Structure 1
Amino acid sequence: MKKTLVSALTAALVVGAASTTFAASNPFSDVPEGHWAYESIQKLVDDNVIDGYGDGTFRGDRTITRYEAAQMVAKAMAKNPTGEDKTVVDKLRAEFADELNNLGVRVSDLERNADKVKWNGEARFTYTSDRNKNTAVGTNTKVNSAPLLFRLEPSAEVNDHWHVKARLDATTHLNTDAANNNSDRVKLVRAWAQGDYDKFQVKLGKFGSLNGDSIADTQFSGAEVSFGKEVKGIVAAGRLSTNVYGGNYAKAANYQYLGVEGAVDRLSGGLYLHRLNTKSLSAAGTRTAKFFKNNTEDTSNIIAVKGSYKIGNNVKLNGFYSNNPEADNYKQAASAEVSYKGAQKANQGTWGAWVAYRHLGSAAMVKSTYDVIKPDFKGWEIGANYAPFKNVVATARYGDAKEISNSNQKEKILFGRVQFFF
């Protein structure tokens, strides 16, 4: 709103303008062109702040009521003034607060603010049957689990560039329903501020590192800056819980990563470095040998490269390779996958299928995101997903794997999941 509108509003209040439901054209029959307030009244009519009376008059010689003045202030507020204009309108708003509330402006403000907060989420039911077999000693075990996750992901607008986002997870396990089930919990797992600009993005708080990445998509506390469009650079630093990547430590690890990624036609890829460091030993005073060379190093460096290529409209090849030269064991991880189409939650009846081979050395991964091939195992996975209804996706996976350093330890996993998105 321009300053002339505030000036016009002030002039109209002085003259005694009334706002009614009939929109008349200016000049009014009783406001001649030479009137001292003519231009101000013209501006207010153009901006739909005042309307005049049904008989085409302005009636500036009568005293307006506080409710009539409040109507004019409410219309000025709707223009979303800034700077000095906002200061003037805020003063008028405070003066006519009671009348504005009775006119419903309070409700309008709540509705406007509510539009700035958006909620997404999902209800996720998962069933897993894990069958282990050790051929050397002849043991067989089976573990079934049925976790239920309810997730909320609010996003609140701060201004044109910044949003505050969060993730809240509530979990329970249906196969262990009991009055005192310690596995039931509600937890704020992510909360961060995000600034989106034309050529760069900033994240501050606790958020997911490299969202969607196969070896590093987990929450950490810190800052990330990404920049560029066709080719994007990423730099981040913060703190990561050692419960994520292993080790026997009392405190979180320092965590930094950087990368460059881009896409050309049907080909996309990226190169990344993840660095983890901690000197906070537990009371036991030991490190996990597979993460640190000779069980003495404090730093773990993971170098990763990934890529994908689309064949036609429906087939895609995906793969990655990562290596941790600081580790003694489980120092390499890799995956190769061929996928066909894929379920789209917004499109009922869509489906997809895939087959993959994965070798997942845990020392070469910050956090594995795979469901049926576990860290420190290698093997085959097949799977499919389907959207039976809009915003509902069902997924099935089967994994056949063996431990990387012990071929006698074998594992077969059945996995099913249904997700309801909202």
Structure 2
Amino acid sequence: MKKTLVSALSAALVIGAASTTFAAANPFSDVPRDHWAYDAVSQLAADGVVEGYGDGTYRGDRNITRYEMAQMVGKAMAKGDMSASDRALVDRLAAEFADELNNLGVRVSNLERNADMVKWNGKLEYTYTSERVETLRDSGKKRTNDDNLLFRLEPSAEVNSHWHVNARLDAETKMNKDAGEAGSDKVELKYAWAQGDYGDFQVKLGKMELLSAEAYAKPGALIFDHHFSGAEVSFGKDLRVKLQAGRISDEELTDPANYQAAELMYNGRLTGGVGYYRLSSKNYIPFTGGKEQINIWGVNAGYSFDKNNFLSAAYARNNNLAMDKKYKKSYQVSYDYKGANPEDRGSWGAYVSYRYIAGAALGATTDGAMEFTKGVEVGTDYTLFPNVVLSAKYFRGKDLNPRVIDGQDKVSKLFGRVEFFF
């Protein structure tokens, strides 16, 4: 490589980085003022990127070694006021001379930073569930078991100092079904969204997780534990406002629902909030007496007695359902004790909750209690090894489905899960 080429590349870097015209004195006797690279060489010398030779010459027409080029690249990397295009050029040069830089003991920090811009998290998860229904109509019992294995990847990539993009990719297989059987295997891009963070203001765009405000309690969300496509804006610190708008789709809905929501939450030792959720879809007409719209109001509150003990309650109501008023509400009361930390071996937690999951719970967390049921749910989790967490839940109650004799069908569910985080 010719030194003249190096000068051209270096000049581009310096011109892009400097905010003023070159004014540094030229220390090299063999670079005259009328030389095309005079300004660049002078500034490079002033910045300490090039040193020349002991006799005061630059020798720009001389072939240089990769070792000498690596020295200049390493010094250029130390400059902190480059434009994005110049920084990209330095990074490409650093990649080319990585071996020489390592031999020189130069840490290629920019390359490492770029590599760190994409981070991967994920887990391998095995879940076993067993649902049981006891009916008085025919004195029969029905049991449904399910074995599910899930592999999840969650990449996050930095765009700039404020924005990054996130995704979740799930690959699932039903271990109690034969390969190729309908519903046995599924690979899905679950979420993909861009997120901008500006202090206490945050914006999200794309397909993302939808958790209603009361989901901070151990049993999970009372109204929504689902996903939606659209936009979310939130702002505030202890008192935080969240606004959402978009569409909710579901395998059971042929016509996705338009969705808007607003939440106000206060987080502290005393936690509380209110939420309003509006959905419209032609699929709702059979359940709303001819209306396409559903409106749900929710309130929640919680209190931390100390770092280990937490009591919470949530209530929601859907006034648009063409059903008896007892089916329009949903509520839960929960007591949480401690909690398993995946990184802390031996940590554990437990909870007990009474849950009433009916018409205001359009997509509640149903690891324990099922849709249109009421009863007691208990659960526990334990970190067996670092990043290996065991959890179990048990629910027992009665069916609330208005199509059966109310309260006459007994239901129960056993839930077990092991998660390997990475």
Q: Secondary structure at the residue paired with 1:209? A: strand
| Per-residue deviation, 1:237 | 0.5
Task: Please tell me whether the aligned partners of residues 27 and 45 of structure 2 are also in contact (alpha carbons under 8 angstroms).
Answer: no
The structure 2 residue matched to 1:365, chosen from 361, 365, 388, is: 361
The structure 1 residue matched to 2:280, chosen from 260, 277, 286, is: 277
Mapping for residues 292-303 of structure 1, pairs under 5 Å? 292=288, 295-303=289-297
Alignment of 1:351 onto 2:348: yes
Residue matched to 1:256: 260
Rounded Cα–Cα distance in structure 1 between residues aligned with 2:383 and 2:127: 16
Q: Which moved more, 1:180-189 or 1:232-241?
A: 180-189
Residue matched to 1:126: 127
Change (3 A) 1:41 1:399: closer
Change (3 A) 1:13 1:277: farther
* Amino acid paired to 2:418: V
Rounded Cα–Cα distance in structure 2 between residues aligned with 1:38 and 1:185: 60
Change (3 A) 1:14 1:199: farther
* Amino acid paired to 2:148: P
- The TM-score with structure 1 as length reference comes to 0.80
| Per-residue deviation, 1:37 | 9.5
* Amino acid paired to 1:419: E
Rounded Cα–Cα distance in structure 2 between residues aligned with 1:8 and 1:182: 71
Residue matched to 1:287: 285
Task: Please tell me whether the aligned partners of residues 71 and 100 of structure 1 are also in contact (alpha carbons under 8 angstroms).
Answer: no
Change (3 A) 1:100 1:368: closer
Change (3 A) 1:217 1:130: closer
Change (3 A) 1:65 1:416: same
Rounded Cα–Cα distance in structure 2 between residues aligned with 1:57 and 1:149: 68
Task: Please tell me whether the aligned partners of residues 13 and 69 of structure 1 are also in contact (alpha carbons under 8 angstroms).
Answer: no
Q: Secondary structure at the residue paired with 1:185? A: strand
Rounded Cα–Cα distance in structure 1 between residues aligned with 2:82 and 2:360: 52
Change (3 A) 1:36 1:269: closer
Residue matched to 1:3: 18
Task: Please tell me whether the aligned partners of residues 27 and 42 of structure 2 are also in contact (alpha carbons under 8 angstroms).
Answer: no
Mapping for residues 88-127 of structure 1, pairs under 5 Å? 102-104=96-98, 111-127=112-128
Residue matched to 1:26: none
Change (3 A) 1:102 1:118: closer
Rounded Cα–Cα distance in structure 1 between residues aligned with 2:60 and 2:133: 90
Task: Please tell me whether the aligned partners of residues 28 and 58 of structure 2 are also in contact (alpha carbons under 8 angstroms).
Answer: no
Task: Please tell me whether the aligned partners of residues 5 and 43 of structure 1 are also in contact (alpha carbons under 8 angstroms).
Answer: no
Rounded Cα–Cα distance in structure 2 between residues aligned with 1:167 and 1:82: 34
| Per-residue deviation, 1:93 | 6.4
Rounded Cα–Cα distance in structure 1 between residues aligned with 2:296 and 2:97: 62
Alignment of 1:385 onto 2:388: no
Rounded Cα–Cα distance in structure 1 between residues aligned with 2:179 and 2:87: 58
Q: Secondary structure at the residue paired with 1:176? A: coil
Task: Please tell me whether the aligned partners of residues 12 and 41 of structure 1 are also in contact (alpha carbons under 8 angstroms).
Answer: no
Change (3 A) 1:211 1:333: closer
Structure 1 residues 2-21: Cα deviation after superposition (integer angstroms, max 9, x where no partner): 517995899789967xxxxx
| Per-residue deviation, 1:262 | 1.0
Rounded Cα–Cα distance in structure 1 between residues aligned with 2:111 and 2:417: 38
Could you tell me which runs of 5 or more consecutive residues in structure 1 were left unpaired when the two chains were aligned.
17-34
| Per-residue deviation, 1:137 | 1.9
Alignment of 1:310 onto 2:318: no
Rounded Cα–Cα distance in structure 2 between residues aligned with 1:277 and 1:37: 64
| Per-residue deviation, 1:396 | 1.1
Change (3 A) 1:401 1:72: same
Residue matched to 1:235: 243
Task: Please tell me whether the aligned partners of residues 12 and 37 of structure 1 are also in contact (alpha carbons under 8 angstroms).
Answer: no
Rounded Cα–Cα distance in structure 2 between residues aligned with 1:240 and 1:233: 21
Mapping for residues 116-195 of structure 1, pairs under 5 Å? 116-180=117-181, 182-195=183-196
Q: Secondary structure at the residue paired with 2:43? A: helix
RMSD: 3.4
Change (3 A) 1:407 1:11: farther
Residue matched to 2:218: none
| Per-residue deviation, 1:112 | 4.0
Task: Please tell me whether the aligned partners of residues 24 and 42 of structure 2 are also in contact (alpha carbons under 8 angstroms).
Answer: no
| Per-residue deviation, 1:222 | 0.3
* Amino acid paired to 2:379: G
Rounded Cα–Cα distance in structure 1 between residues aligned with 2:229 and 2:85: 38
Structure 1 residues 113-146: Cα deviation after superposition (integer angstroms, max 9, x where no partner): 3210011111111111111110232111111111
Change (3 A) 1:10 1:343: farther
The structure 2 residue matched to 1:268, chosen from 258, 271, 295, is: 271
* Amino acid paired to 1:222: G
Rounded Cα–Cα distance in structure 2 between residues aligned with 1:297 and 1:37: 73
Rounded Cα–Cα distance in structure 1 between residues aligned with 2:296 and 2:258: 14
Rounded Cα–Cα distance in structure 2 between residues aligned with 1:368 and 1:143: 20
Q: Secondary structure at the residue paired with 1:218? A: strand
